[in-house]
Structure 1
Amino acid sequence: MLFAVSMTFIDQTIVSIAAPDIIRELGLSSVGMQWVVNAYLLSLAAFFALGGRLADVLGHRRMALIGTLTFVVASALCGAVPTGGAAQTWLIVFRAVQGLGAALMFPAALAVVVEVFPVQRRGRALALFFGVAGGLTAIGPVLGGWLTSWTWRAIFWVNVPVAVIAVVLTLMARIPNTGRREPIDWPGAVLVASGMALSVLGLQQAASWGWGSPATWLCIGGGLVVLALFVLFELRTRDPLIKLRVFTDRAFAADNAVLFFSMIAFVPVFFFASVYAQVALGQSANDAGLYLLVFFAGFAPGTQVGGRMLDRIGARPPMLAGSALAAVGFALWARKITDLSLGAQWPYIVMAGAGIGLLLTPASTDAVNRAIGASYGEVTGITQTVRNYSASLGLAVLGTVLLHSTTTDVQEVLLAHGVPADAAHGAAEQITNGITGHGAGSGQGAPGVPAELADAVRGAFAEANGPVLYGMAAALAVTFLCALFHPGTRVTAEPAGPAGRTEPAGAAAEVPAGEDGTV
């Protein structure tokens, strides 16, 4: 399962690194390239809920294989894109198919891991699962830079041997395929996919269209209206796509709230740190990837400690400790962001990563442990939908904060050094274009800006990143408050009973944290 999901995490970050080469060879527009990147994330967000439900109905092993094959075929076709007028459409379509494959695969793969390990060992197992996943997200830019030096098509073809290994290992493992003979709520699937796609599209395009654009709010508002209709429809459906009563379990609701607010910081930090390393520190794309690995140096051990704490004392203590540690880490990182050296920042980057790792595994695992009638695919679909939506929200809002801060800080610094207003505005615009995907550059080479002011531009951009990191710290402070809402009980036995039962998931198998509930 780790081999299967590794492709999905790497592909979230690897394509951005190869964007300049893809644009140059295929003649894509910058807007078209942005759609190539966004199509994958958009499709992923739209189909997670359906993927989780299909995993429960058709069987976890079967859907893991179907998702893997869908993903790798789409990857191979992305790498085989022909040159010419159809190239842009070709890439966007098959990137969306990649996202569909990932949405079918991931809930099923996670459900397999959950099903294989008993509750008492599940925290450690999923700590490894999420630890590797986080590492692969960070490695994506490094791997992308290395593969692109050969050919950008290799960033898609590298998935083929990984998928072959995943399929072979899945067949060798002889994982039981336990499906359920239940109908699938297709109207609900259409509603949730449409609502997620519309709202996430609005968030993705906010930086390009502008927050004042009617199109932005039409997409976001329209998507939220459709999602509200989905909730009303599910409450009246006999066999819903998502059994919303699982949210009446206070612990499950708290787990998802923790995931929602923590993901505002976790996923976007890879993007913002990469841009910061390239613009403020003047690093290459490959070196910027190494900068991200400092965050992972804290994240990896954090996931392991969090998983073991979950198994011993429940989810509440590591979620509280992790959110507090991460909030402090991001705040201290923000204070040091203008020191343009990794040596001054790394302790706080590691602290931020360790805090995120400490809370991620307990929140994700505790939520899955509370599945209704052991509907692990369905619940993983819910948690991944929450995480994906939150990441899109974080990128949109914090990206807007960074754009505004960059424009203001860079122009103020250059104007103070006597640079003409037009040249100062051009330097700021060059950097913001790089952030939004419409170009690249640090602003150092903008017409009318003396080379000796390069350090001033870098320092101004570094200062502009401060509000972003403080925003992440604030999101993690809210995460801490959400963790306080968790009742502190822990699941010590598998949820049992038919999928249609009405009692809260795991209620008969909960014990207060700290008591011996060994089964």
Structure 2
Amino acid sequence: MSQHAGKSGDTSSGTSSTSSTSGGTGDGAEHAPNQKMALAAMLFAVSMTFIDQTIVAIAAPDIIHELGLSASGMQWVVNAYLLALAAFFALGGRLADIFGHRRVMVIGTLVFVLSSVLCGCVPNNDFAQSWLIIFRAVQGLGAALMFPAALAVVIAVFPVQRRGRALALFFGLSGALTAVGPLLGGWLTDWTWRAIFWVNVPVALIALVLTALAKIPNIARREPLDVPGAILVAGGMALSVLGFQQASAWGWSSATTWACIVGGLLILGLFGVYELQQAHPLIKLRVFQDRAFTVDMVVLFFAMLAFVPVFFFASVYAQVSLSASPNQAALYLLYFFIGFGIASQWGGRILDSRGARPAMKLGTALGAIGFALWAGKMTDLSMHDQWPYAALAGAGIGFLLAPASTDAVNRAIGASYGEVTGITQTVRNYAASIGLAVFGTVLTHVTTNRVVDTLESKGVPDGAAHSAAHTIAESITGNADSRTPTGSGPVATALRDSIGAIRMDFAEANRAVFYAMAGALAVAFVCSYLHPGTKVTGTNAVAAPGRTQVP
């Protein structure tokens, strides 16, 4: 991915030499690009990819209510985007190298915005769930084409001496927009949840107009495309996540569940063996020979099991168990982001002064403690009492995320900035997909068991209690809202009498999920001790001069 750019001292990527590369082409090369306008264009483009990681979580209960989706179906709506982004990110970077960064960025933006419009136009019928999942996956594909191409554009149009600041701004602002998703989602959902997808249209138009005005050259390198590698990594990720996601429906004792999980992991192993034998691999896995880089990736993997899924689970918990509105749920998530934003700045300073290991140790420890304390307060059903722990959990992620990502980039000598960023983004999004799938299974399982106990305590027979509990768990909202069950049968009567108890059942299920997130951060804490602890200096870092934090 972007093999021609990103190394310290790379003289082929300044503005005076963006017209061509060895063996490449450069249409529009007679004009020097407008650097500020190009950076603004790329920021508008990638902002959509970050916002869409979190914005859908706020609207989940409304989407489920209007379209009649199941819990697993809604989780697939969220996860399809993350999984496609992870599976095709490296492919997007390679296509950008082959066909030109500007061209692929424009194509990715168009794919993303058209699929966004189609997500918002989902029909209210039996095909709604499949429609949303399909076009959310297409959104992820568009993001996978757009993001690495946009990164390569920024690298190409800025000379080495200015690239560090440009990349810090690119990642800093675009990453910060993750926090905008819940707030924007809450505001738009008050109008219609469909607007959370349509809002991408004006943003995409601005990005495309600025791209045209910036006169960005279309740099391309004629290199072979690793099609078998792309198929293997996409297939392995999809199959393994399918197994984790469907475990709640198929059961952990099901041969199908384990066939998908083990089969997917074996395919990913085959992908690794295959890539090491290729002259032009999709992903340069040899960078994992550096122990520090490997530890950075492992820590990021376990941290990301919690980081993106927390938005979905916390949002739905707030709207179901706490009876919060979408706007109130967005403010609930804001506690997490306040801690995250403040700690991110401190994490960067620790990275500069002492290296990545202290920041990762502190972040993983605070994250594990924060998520555990947050989980313990969930059954109090008080939003006010939870904010310190939500902020502490966010601070933990904030301390570790940028230092681990930046340290990985700086240590990957022999690979470009774009290539290593491709690896980190693939690991992060794949981990988020697995986290959402596994924790979604935990949520459904615990909710079902708790609701069965509640209904049986009201005299509902075992079979009827299991059937009703499964229906409630699959509807996420657990009938704990204004949709009071109708009918005069014993099950309907028990449900009407148990709405408050079912809210508590759902809170207890989320408590189990957040304890599991704390466990993931605890594992990351142990792994952080394996980092050699040496500090990367500007003389051996792959990134451009200046602190470049990758959020």
Question: Fold conserved (TM > 0.5)?
Answer: yes
Q: Which moved more, 1:88-97 or 1:17-26?
A: 17-26
Q: Which residue of 2 aligns with 1:380?
A: 421
Moved more, 125-134 or 101-110: 125-134
Which amino acid in structure 2 is aligned with residue 487 of structure 1?
P
Q: Tell me the distance in 1 between the aligned counterparts of 2:68 and 2:522.
A: 45
The answer to whether the 8 A contact 1:430-1:442 is kept is no
TM-superposed deviation, 1:100: 0.8
Q: Is the 8 A contact 1:39 1:95 kept in 2?
A: yes
Q: Deviations over 1:420-446 (max 9, x none)?
A: 6567546633441133xxx75238945
Specify which of 71, 82, 103 is matched with residue 112 of structure 2: 71
Q: Is the 8 A contact 1:205 1:216 kept in 2?
A: yes
Q: Which residue of 2 aligns with 1:442?
A: 480
Tell me the equivalent position of 1:353. 394
Paired position in structure 1 for 2:324: 283
Gap change, CA 1:154 and 1:227, over 3 Å in 2: same
- For the Cα contact (< 8 Å) 2:339–2:392, is it kept in 1? yes
Tell me which residue corresponds to 2:358: 317
User: Displacement of 1:74 after TM fit?
Assistant: 2.5
Aligned residue among 504, 518, 525 for 1:473: 518
For residue 417 of structure 1, report the CA deviation from its aligned partner. 6.0
Q: How does 1:116-515 map to 2 (within 5 A)?
A: 125=169, 128-129=172-173, 131-139=175-183, 141-148=185-192, 152-172=193-213, 179-416=220-457, 421=462, 424-425=465-466, 428-435=469-476, 441-442=479-480, 445=484, 447-449=492-494, 451=496, 453-493=498-538, 506=542
How much does 1:92 deviate? 4.6
Cα displacement (A) at 1:76: 3.0
In structure 2, relative to structure 1, the CA distance for the partners of 1:441 and 1:220 (3 Å cut) is same
- The secondary structure found in structure 2 opposite 1:350 is helix
Q: Which amino acid aligns with 1:2?
A: L
Q: Alpha-carbon deviations, 1:69-95, whole Å to 9, x = none?
A: 221132234445578887766555433
Question: What residue number does 1:499 align with?
Answer: none
Structure 2 spans left out of the alignment, 5+ residues? 1-41, 486-491, 546-551
1:515 matched to which residue of 2? none
1:44 to 85, 93, 96: 85
- Cα 1:59–1:139 change in 2 (3 A) is farther
The normalised TM-score by structure 2 is 0.78
Measured after TM superposition, the shift of residue 386 of structure 1 is 0.9
Deviations 1:405-425 (A, max 9, x none): 223334334545666656754
Computed over aligned residues only, the root mean square deviation of the Cα atoms, in angstroms, reads 3.5
1:52·1:379 contact (CA, 8 Å) conserved in 2?
no
**After the TM superposition, which of the residue ranges 226-235 and 362-371 deviates more from structure 2?**
362-371
State which drifts further: 446-455 or 94-103.
446-455
Structure 1 residues 462, 366: CA separation in 2 closer, same or farther (over 3 Å shift)?
same
How many Å apart are 1:63 and its aligned residue? Answer: 3.4
Give structure 1 stretches of 5+ with no counterpart: 496-504, 511-519
Shift of the 87–131 alpha-carbon distance from structure 1 to 2, 3 Å rule, reads: closer
Structure-2 separation of matches of 1:26 and 1:413? 27
* Bigger relative contact order, structure 1 or 2 (CA pairs below 8 A, ≥6 apart): 2
Amino acid in the other structure paired with 2:82 = L
Tell which deviates more after alignment, 112-121 or 310-319. 112-121
Secondary structure in structure 2 of the residue aligned to 1:95: helix
For 1:22 and 1:408, how far apart are their aligned partners in 2? 25
What TM-score comes out, normalization by structure 1 length? 0.83
Structure 2 counterpart SS, 1:489? coil
Cα contact 1:110–1:380 (8 A) shared by 2: no
Where does residue 35 of structure 2 map in the other structure?
none
CA-to-aligned-CA distance 1:84-123 (integer Å, 9 cap, x gap): 8877665554333221111112233345566758687589
Residue 501 of structure 1 is matched in structure 2 by none
Question: Residue 208 and residue 50 in structure 1: after superposition, are their counterparts in 2 closer, same or farther (change >3 A)?
Answer: same
Deviations 1:171-218 (A, max 9, x none): 555666655443222221222122222222323333333333333333
Q: 1:378 to 1:494 in 2, by over 3 A?
A: farther
8 Å Cα contact 1:210-1:216 kept in structure 2: yes
Q: Confirm or deny: 8 A CA contact 1:120 1:492 kept in the other structure.
A: no
3-state SS of the aligned residue for 2:494? coil
Structure 1 residues 2 and 358: alpha-carbon distance in aligned structure 2, compared to 1, 3 A threshold: farther
Quote how far apart the aligned CAs of 1:506 are. Answer: 4.8
| Cα separation, 1, equivalents of 2:104 and 2:413 | 20
Note the alpha carbon deviations across 1:428-485, whole angstroms, 9 max, x for none. Answer: 33441133xxx75238945132756443333333233222222111111111122222
- Quickly say closer, same or farther: Cα 1:99–1:476, change in 2 above 3 A: same
